[in-house]
Structure 1
Amino acid sequence: MRLTHVVRAAVAAAAAATAALVLPAVASAHVTVNPNTAVQGGYTKVTFRVPTERDDASTTKVEIAIPTDKPIASVSLKPVQGWTAVTETSKLTTPIKTNDGELTEAVSKITWTADANSGIKPHQFQEFDVSLGPLPQADQIVFKALQTYSSGEVVRWIDEPAAGAEAEHPAPVLKLSKKSDTAAAATTATAGPTVAADSSDTSSSSNGTAIGLGIAGLVLGLAGLVVGILAYRRTPSAPAA
């Protein structure tokens, strides 16, 4: 075997090892709420992000359920071009007091329906903005969602989070914290050293992991190159004719 062949084989092995380690597994996209944290008792604007995962169908309807066991008094929607939004209300088992008086019913569902020439095309996504408040005294709000495709298929994003388990069709979840917890976190951040950070901690962490894995793959490839060269040197040359 010629040295050039050994080198080419080792380089190919290094490239394959690096690619296998660096490229992340493709996760199935799902309906999410962004940001996914807010403060109890406050008002917030959230965005429901809906991707289309089908190659041969568009998303034509999105339904978001608003829990009424801990109702939200004010729910308002931002218009989305090409979509019609409708809210449904339900009577509350236990009325709640607000600054505007007693609330006996609350929004329990939001439905966005695409116009005839609209919809979320394959491999695209759409965002739907909602203003909510005051937020309930709870640890989280689970917004169960239904996604309807032009083919008639309905995907139910309704699985609630469970410890130690990854849901197949997770529902969007908004985590809620107490004002005192938020203030304490802000105080700690102010007292601590200032560290420059990227706008996306998750992306930075992922990029750092990918770089580390890429280096590991390169080291493995170089090790293969060294082994190949040593093997070549140990191979006796064929006697001249």
Structure 2
Amino acid sequence: MSTHRALRATVVAVAFGATGLLGAGVASAHVTADIYGSEPQKGGSGAIVLRVPNEEADAGTTKVEIDFKPEYALSSVRYKPVPGWTAEVTKTQLPAPVKNGKNLDVTNPVTKIVFTAQPGSGIAKGDAEYQDFEITASTLPSTVDELVLPAIQTYDNGQVVSWDQVSTGGAEPEHPAPTVKLAAASAGGDDHAAMASGSGESGSGGSSGTDDTARWLGGAGLIVGALGLGVGGGAVLRSRKAGKSNA
């Protein structure tokens, strides 16, 4: 009996551990910018998931605006369509060109993307729901170690919350801006986060899709392995009991 209990405890622990790996990072109290996989490289492309939770008990979120600093010199920002939402990418003509991460002149960088909920859609009031907005950006700057992406969240009651405060190393500000760290450029260049499938602009899929598939298959493999461990353990116990009965 003690062997069966120990085996069952092991299976449960592994199963819960696998589930935790797959579900990590689901809940967040603030608007955040997340990277799945390795950090995007300076001068390359980056796939970013902006997670927007609703935080008002009596109002739902109907618009989300993400701002990009002109000095980042982003020549392209693509988005994955979200059912019930529209998206608009804005470029701004600058009085003088700025250098991008590949040291090329950019005169009209992307400075904003706005996601707007269609009537009857949006993030429901209360604190139980959130929405992910997936984008890819290039060419990433080479002169900063971190992207700061201020966000503006608008509710259906007219309330507007700006997530634009930058942490200075002390306590977290009340409305921190979403941030993304950038890794140093590698000698082979950066193919990380080529275009996500279903993006708002045309582009072929790259290593990002392969990495995502591998990660999900790896997570699923953990759960399947845990279940297999339970089945195998049960078979061993049954064979032992059968052997005792025959004896």
Distance change >3 Å, CA 35–CA 97, structure 1 → 2: closer
Match of 2:148 in 1: 142
Could you give the per-residue CA deviations for residues 184-224 of structure 1, whole angstroms, max 9, x where no partner exists? xxxxxxxxxxxxxx97xxxxxxxxxxxxxxxxxxxxxxxxx
Q: Could you say what the CA RMSD is over the residues aligned between the two structures, in angstroms? A: 2.7
Runs of 5+ in structure 1 lacking a partner? 1-26, 184-197, 200-241
Q: What SS class does the counterpart of residue 69 from structure 1 fall into?
A: helix
Quick one: distance in 1 between partners of 2:86 and 2:28? 27
Q: What SS class does the counterpart of residue 63 from structure 2 fall into?
A: strand
Could you give the per-residue CA deviations for residues 79-109 of structure 1, whole angstroms, max 9, x where no partner exists? 111001011111233244799x853101101
Quick one: distance in 2 between partners of 1:46 and 1:158? 17
TM-score, structure 1 length as denominator? Answer: 0.59
Quick one: distance in 2 between partners of 1:112 and 1:56? 21
Which structure's residues are more often strand, by fraction?
1
Runs of 5+ in structure 2 lacking a partner? 1-26, 190-217, 220-247
Match of 1:39 in 2: 41
Match of 2:77 in 1: 75
- Paired residues in the alignment total 158
Could you give the per-residue CA deviations for residues 139-174 of structure 1, whole angstroms, max 9, x where no partner exists? 111000000011111111000121123111000001
Quick one: distance in 2 between partners of 1:147 and 1:119? 12
TM-score, structure 2 length as denominator? Answer: 0.58
The structure having more radius of gyration, on CA atoms, is 1
1:151 pairs with 118, 139, 157, which one? 157
* Greater relative contact order (CA < 8 Å, ≥ 6 in sequence): 1
Quick one: distance in 2 between partners of 1:110 and 1:163? 28
Distance change >3 Å, CA 97–CA 180, structure 1 → 2: closer
Distance change >3 Å, CA 68–CA 162, structure 1 → 2: same
Q: What SS class does the counterpart of residue 72 from structure 2 fall into?
A: coil
Identity in percent: 41
Quick one: distance in 2 between partners of 1:102 and 1:142? 21
1:118 pairs with 95, 116, 121, which one? 121
